[in-house]
């Protein structure tokens, strides 16, 4: 059982209220940050990606806007790493929560089966 899709916000949902990202430049930065997150997934991979040379970055992720160089590329990586870090943390919380639910359910099922088996031994016709 997984509820992560209901608990972890999508990239767009996570950044929807950022007023500093609503202009054209902000939208380009977010679009590229989303591409970086989709391609690299983890904050560690994004940080390593940001340290590559420009030619290596293009080789790894050719879909990025060519205008994002220098400071704007750094902003793309910061946005991507921020979301990836959030998503990773939220996913861990969901996993821990699901494990707790599964463990509780498991104990409940075991308790019910045990009590049912004991009842059947006492009175197998009920």
In a domain, 111, yes or no: no
In a domain, 30, yes or no: yes
Instruction: For residues 53 and 21, give the distance between their C-alpha atoms in angstroms, rounded to a whole number.
Output: 26
Question: Which domain, by its residues, includes 85?
Answer: 9-96
Instruction: For residues 41 and 13, give the distance between their C-alpha atoms in angstroms, rounded to a whole number.
Output: 17
In a domain, 37, yes or no: yes
Instruction: For residues 66 and 62, give the distance between their C-alpha atoms in angstroms, rounded to a whole number.
Output: 9
Q: Give how many domains the chain has, as a whole number.
A: 1
- 7-37 confidence digits (pLDDT tens): 889 999 999 988 777 888 889 889 989 999 9
For 33, other C-beta atoms within 10 Å of its C-beta total 26
User: Is residue 47 within 8 Å of residue 81, measured between CB atoms?
Assistant: yes
Q: Which residue has the higher pLDDT, 88 or 104?
A: 88
């Amino acid at each position: 059982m997984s509820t992560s899709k209901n608990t972890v916000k999508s990239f767009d949902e996570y950044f929807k209220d950022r007023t500093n990202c609503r202009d054209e430049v902000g939208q380009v930065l977010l679009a590229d940050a989303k591409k970086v997150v989709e391609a690299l997934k983890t904050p560690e991979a994004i940080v390593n990606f940001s340290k590559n040379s420009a030619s290596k970055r293009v080789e790894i992720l050719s879909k990025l806007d060519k205008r994002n160089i220098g400071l704007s590329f750094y902003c793309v990586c910061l946005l991507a790493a921020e979301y990836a870090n959030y998503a990773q943390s939220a996913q861990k919380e969901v996993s821990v929560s699901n494990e707790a639910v599964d463990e509780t359910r498991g104990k409940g099922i075991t308790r019910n089966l045990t009590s049912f088996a004991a009842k059947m031994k006492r009175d197998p016709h009920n």
